[in-house]
């Protein structure tokens, strides 16, 4: 069994499915008895980065702090699942450079699909002008250029997307191959 830690960084618009896919993967990894920690953007903002706003500088600092914690955990053999919008490519690349074992997962869903889902009602508020600097509306989202895994959540089930990520982690040796699933 591998004791290699890795940071799996889920990036995408609000409502794209980052947390949903992350939860499926987390459940599978825990069922396999692996060391897993979750850094969810919303929860981190309530605890680790409280007080930061949504300016570009504050968003970058938020991602740097998440990256710092992910690095500490993954270098100690933990599989870290990060789900954070992380809209700016340059700061994601900066974090990638600091974390030796880093897998970027682009959770790709068209803005129209994310708005239709609008689980938290945020797009409606942003469109009404109640939320400023909202990613995808009046603040940019810069998609990854070469993510290790891309999930199209408007075309795949959460389980299909999760399987793409798990398969990739197995191929790289971060996970023991799932001996339960025979491919004979």
CA 1 to chain centre: 24
Angle between helices 89-98 and 56-74 (to 10 degrees): 20
Say which residue the tokens 């199209």 belong to.
152
Question: Contact, 39 vs 70, CB < 8 A?
Answer: yes
Residue 86 annotated as catalytic: yes
Scored b (16 or more CB within 10 A) or e, 56-81 reads eeebbebbeebbebbbebbeeebbbb
Catalytic residue among 14, 74, 86, 161: 86
d(CA 114, CA 17): 9
Question: Which active-site residues does the annotation give?
Answer: 86
């Amino acid at each position: 069994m591998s004791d290699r830690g890795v940071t799996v960084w889920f990036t995408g618009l609000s409502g794209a499915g980052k947390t949903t896919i992350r939860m499926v993967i987390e459940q599978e990894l825990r069922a396999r008895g692996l060391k897993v920690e979750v850094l969810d953007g919303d929860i981190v903002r309530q605890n680790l980065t409280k007080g930061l706003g949504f300016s570009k500088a504050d968003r970058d600092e938020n991602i740097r702090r998440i990256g710092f914690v992910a690095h500490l955990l993954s270098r100690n053999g933990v599989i870290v699942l990060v789900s954070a919008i992380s809209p700016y490519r340059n700061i994601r690349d900066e974090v990638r450079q600091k974390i030796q074992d880093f897998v970027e997962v682009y959770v790709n869903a068209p803005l129209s699909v994310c708005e239709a889902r609008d689980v938290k009602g945020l797009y409606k508020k942003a469109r009404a002008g109640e939320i400023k600097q909202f990613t995808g509306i009046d603040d940019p989202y810069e998609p990854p250029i070469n993510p290790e895994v891309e999930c199209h959540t408007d075309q795949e089930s959460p389980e299909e997307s999760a399987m793409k990520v798990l398969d990739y982690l197995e191929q790289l040796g971060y996970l023991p191959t799932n001996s339960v699933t025979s491919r004979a």
